[in-house]
Amino acid sequence: MSARNCPSASKSRSRSFKCSAFTLIELFVVMAVLIILMGLAFPAFTSVQTSARKTQAKNDLVQIVTAASAFYTEYGKYPTAAADDPAAKVGPGGTGPTTSLFNTLRGLDAATNPRQIVFMSPPEAKDQSSPRSGIKTSDGQLFDPWGVVYAIDMDANYNNEIPNPYTADTGAGSANIRQGVIAWSLGKNGPLGGSGAKSSANSNDDIISWQ
């Protein structure tokens, strides 16, 4: 008789019963299989999650660029602090926070958007203490899916080009980008271009609007 929870010998004379309980070894085998399957599934889940976040960031960048461009169409200038301000970069690596820009584009700043036109309506972040993918209501900044504010640069001196924030010809375009508005996310690994000695050389894992 094995260690299974089987019927007694007397009962087995009248009819046969199938033993259904697991032995200890069988239980360990099942647990090992489950652990292996979980190990195989985790990388796939992580990859899908990363892809979804990149898609969300790219959609946000399209909205930002479209909104700032629509502001230019409406007012004949970009939504910068001053029409002749050559340093129009805001966000990480810029001259200041993105609060004023997004308040303007959301129609909340009557000083820079006197008609209070709503050029974009991003959702509020679900977790305001650690915002991701949405507006932080306390300062009006828009955060990417990794919890970092977006960076934006505009052609505020109207020479039809914006300096590339990345080293030229390393995967993020030439030294000067011939667009009126550009925006980018530092991605999962931030800072600019990721981590490591070549972090400022190329876009690496960053999400950029001009490609």
Question: How many whole angstroms separate alpha carbon 94 and alpha carbon 171?
Answer: 21
Look at residue 105 and give its three-state secondary structure. Answer: helix
The pLDDT assigned to 144 comes to: 95
Q: Do 69 and 79 contact (CB within 8 A), yes or no? A: no
Helices within 76-158 (DSSP H only): 99-105
Measured distance between the N- and C-terminal CA atoms of the chain, rounded to whole angstroms? 71
Q: Which residue in 115, 111, 47, 37 sits closest to 81, CA to CA?
A: 111
CA distance 135 to 198: 31
pLDDT digits (tens, 9 = 90+) for 36-46: 877 776 666 67
Say which residue, 71 or 92, is predicted with more confidence: 71
Over residues 24-51, the mean pLDDT reads 78
Residue in 158, 193, 200, 149 with CA at minimum distance from that of residue 179: 158
Summary mean pLDDT of the chain: 81
Rounded to whole angstroms, the Cα distance separating 151 from 140 reads 14
- CA-nearest of 163, 151, 142 to 192 is 151
Which pLDDT does position 54 carry in this prediction? Answer: 92
Q: Is the pLDDT of residue 203 over 50?
A: yes
pLDDT tens digit sequence for 136-193: 999 999 999 999 999 999 998 888 889 888 876 667 888 899 999 999 998 887 667 6
Q: Nearest-CA neighbor of 56 among 128, 132, 4?
A: 132
Is it the case that residue 84 has pLDDT exceeding 60?
A: no
pLDDT value of position 21: 60
pLDDT of residue 53: 92
Band of pLDDT at residue 73, cut at 50, 70 and 90: very high
Residue 62 pLDDT more than 90? Answer: yes
Residues 181, 68: contact at Cβ < 8 Å?
Answer: yes
Q: Over the Cα atoms of the chain, what is R_g?
A: 28
Q: What's the average model confidence in pLDDT over 16-40? A: 73
CA distance 148 to 152: 13
The pLDDT assigned to 58 comes to 95
pLDDT of 105: 96
- SS3 label, residue 45: helix
pLDDT single digits (tens) 117-145: 999 999 999 999 999 999 999 999 999 99
